[in-house]
Structure 1
Amino acid sequence: MIEIRRAADRGVAEHGWLSSRHTFSFAQYFDPEQAGFSDLLVINDDRVAAGRGFGRHPHRDMEIFSYVLEGALEHRDSMGNGSTIVPGDVQLMSAGSGVAHSEYNPSPKDPVHFLQIWILPSAASLGAPPRYQQMHVDAEEKRGKLRLMLSPEGGDGALAVRQDARVYAAQLTGDETASLTLPSERYAYVHVAEGEVTLNGIALKAGDGAKLRNEQALTLTQGRDAHVLVFDLRAGETPPMR
């Protein structure tokens, strides 16, 4: 079964310096039917104005994944990490027992467009020491295929996430095809970050998402400058928010 989440149905937050679209319930946007999907809790599609950003604030026991589509994002945290991530960079902060961080657009004139994604950590990793990981993935590594970016084991060019989850990215145009086999005990979520693509015969546009349950495979075809994230997740529903 495939359940489509259209871009226009997402939550909207407009703060002047920040324009955000929430796939799942977040901050002032509340939809009890959109509390997350399996261990995927947040996908925020954020555009931050030049010279603005999120001031220092704390997190605990959350896997926080930032993925820049346009512009640059400057990161600082209480572990002493400082970096500027740009398109192609993959940033993962495991909040664990507690960490404070800020995310800022350092450009004096250009906005930054990025995805902020939260994944719930495993019960066994709750309270673990916080950690920070970052890597760069060239566009060609994602061209016409699903490139693994996050996995429980890490290694082999992927960052280690503290959950039984895997995150892939693909960029597709024309007759390129990318597929992923889904065992019966797995769910999947597909988020179209940019462009257009067809998922198992269903046309999707930028900002659209899809929940996959009891599907044997997912296949991405007919891309038009498509940039897609795929989440391979444990089977199970996120408890509804009340």
Structure 2
Amino acid sequence: MTRTTALTPTVDVRRAADRAATKIDWLDSKHSFSFGGRYDPANTHHGLLLVNNDDRVRPGSGFETHPHRDMEIVTWVLQGSLVHQDSTGHSGVIYPGLAQRMSAGTGILHSEKNDSWRLSGGPSHTEPVHFVQMWVVPDEPGTTPGYEQLEIENELLADGLVPVASGMAKHDGESAIRIRNRYAALHAARLQPGHSVDLPDAPFLHLFVPRGQVALEGVGPLGPGDAVRFTATGGMKVTAVEPAELLVWEMHATVAA
């Protein structure tokens, strides 16, 4: 991980249709960056963000137990519910408005499934779960694995851009789960038509529109699945054309070359 000062200002728009995809009977996943067998050496990360997967999982299905190491994994559910279980004994149901972070550290096993009715003993549902999973590198390797989740629905309903996961000192005491990188923060917003937010100003920004239509100042319309990678710039205004949701990573360092 490195901090850089001499950067060329760029605004790089990435359209939804250009993402790599993994589509099987239970999973429809779109990848903003290289992921799994979809490897592109020119598209491995932006700033500290290595993964931005836009996933839909069929009811009764999901990711079986699998390992991770030295990664901060943040999951944000847009529709439905996702059951998390891991080898440290943590389990829970993630739903819209609940931020969740898993620190893989020295190594962790976990599963993610769309089967919350099995915990409650109620009837099964037919709704897919739609979520975005994002990975950033930690400050240091080899830390103790950890888990945190936090309900922040009320803040989001205020129609602003709020930090939902951060390792930055300026967000201490705010309603944000903590990630183990002091140079990164994830902001989220739900905007009604005509409402706007100003993007942070940072060496690296990643704007993702998981749903709805917005207009980005100086760029134009962005739709579901569109993303913008900013380098050495920021502060632009984003305005909702229809009810929309935004996910914005603010990053003050990048992965070492």
Same fold per superposition (TM over 0.5): yes
Note if contact 2:99-2:165 (Cα within 8 Å) is conserved in structure 1.
Answer: no
Tell me by how many angstroms 1:214 deviates.
2.1
Q: Which residue of 2 is the match for residue 176 of structure 1?
A: 195
1:159 to 133, 157, 177: 177
List gaps (5 residues or longer) in structure 2. Answer: 1-9, 118-123
SS in 2 for 1:29: coil
**Alpha-carbon deviations, 1:48-69, whole Å to 9, x = none?**
1110011111111000111111
**Partner Cα separation in structure 1 for residue 197 and residue 13 of structure 2:** 19
Q: Which residue of 1 is the match for residue 121 of structure 2?
A: none
Q: Mapping of 1:1-242 within 5 angstroms?
A: 1-106=10-115, 108=124, 109-122=126-139, 125-138=140-153, 141-152=156-167, 153=169, 154-163=172-181, 164-183=183-202, 186-202=203-219, 203-236=221-254, 239=257
Note if contact 1:35-1:238 (Cα within 8 Å) is conserved in structure 2.
Answer: no
SS in 1 for 2:17: helix
**Partner Cα separation in structure 2 for residue 142 and residue 197 of structure 1:** 18
**Alpha-carbon deviations, 1:177-228, whole Å to 9, x = none?**
1113414xx2101000110111223211010000011214132113311100
Note if contact 2:16-2:225 (Cα within 8 Å) is conserved in structure 1.
Answer: yes
**Partner Cα separation in structure 2 for residue 26 and residue 181 of structure 1:** 27
Note if contact 1:96-1:129 (Cα within 8 Å) is conserved in structure 2.
Answer: yes
List gaps (5 residues or longer) in structure 1. Answer: none
RMSD, aligned α-carbons:
1.6
**Partner Cα separation in structure 1 for residue 112 and residue 207 of structure 2:** 25
Tell me by how many angstroms 1:94 deviates.
0.5
SS in 2 for 1:8: helix
Note if contact 2:166-2:184 (Cα within 8 Å) is conserved in structure 1.
Answer: yes
Percent of aligned pairs sharing the same letter:
38
Aligned residues: 235
**Stretch moving more, 26-35 or 13-22:** 26-35
SS in 2 for 1:91: strand
- Greater per-residue strand proportion: 1
TM-score of the pair, normalised by structure 1: 0.92
SS in 2 for 1:54: strand
